Amino acid sequence: MAHMLENPMVIDRLWERFEKEPEVIGECAGCGEEIYAGQDIYDCEGELVHQDEECCMQFVGNKSWCKVAGE
Ligand SMILES: [Zn+2]
């Protein structure tokens, strides 16, 4: 799956903050990418999602039926 968040800068910043390799603590329930300790995430009943519009949209999309409101 194409992923727009592939941004090495984020990981670089985590490296600086912790001065060690960032620890992978889970997988985003939206985009499916790794979640590193120190990143901003949502914890939705145990499922972790990056604090990112795209991830939230994908997360909701993954969990929901697509339908037209009111029908
Ligand atoms: Zn994500």
Q: Which residues surround ligand 1, an ion (CB under 5 A)?
A: 28, 30-31, 50, 55
- Cβ-count burial of 11 within 10 angstroms (0-12 exposed, 13-18 middle, 19+ buried)? middle
Is 18 a residue whose pLDDT tops 80? no
DSSP code string of 6-63: --HHHHHHHHHHHSSPPPEEEE-TTT--EEETTS-EEEETTEEEESSHHHHHHHHHHH
Query: Each residue of 20-47: pLDDT tens digit?
Result: 778 899 999 999 999 999 899 999 889 9
The pLDDT assigned to 41 comes to: 96
Higher pLDDT, 47 or 16: 47
59 vs 21: CA distance, rounded Å: 27
Q: How far is the CA of 69 from the centre of ligand 1 (A)?
A: 26
CA distances from 37 to 2, 40, 48, 68 (A): 23, 9, 12, 38
- The string of pLDDT tens digits covering residues 41-65 is 999 889 999 999 999 999 999 888 8
pTM reported for the whole predicted model:
0.65
Q: How far is the CA of 43 from the centre of ligand 1 (A)?
A: 12
* Interval between CA 71 and ligand 1 midpoint (Å): 30
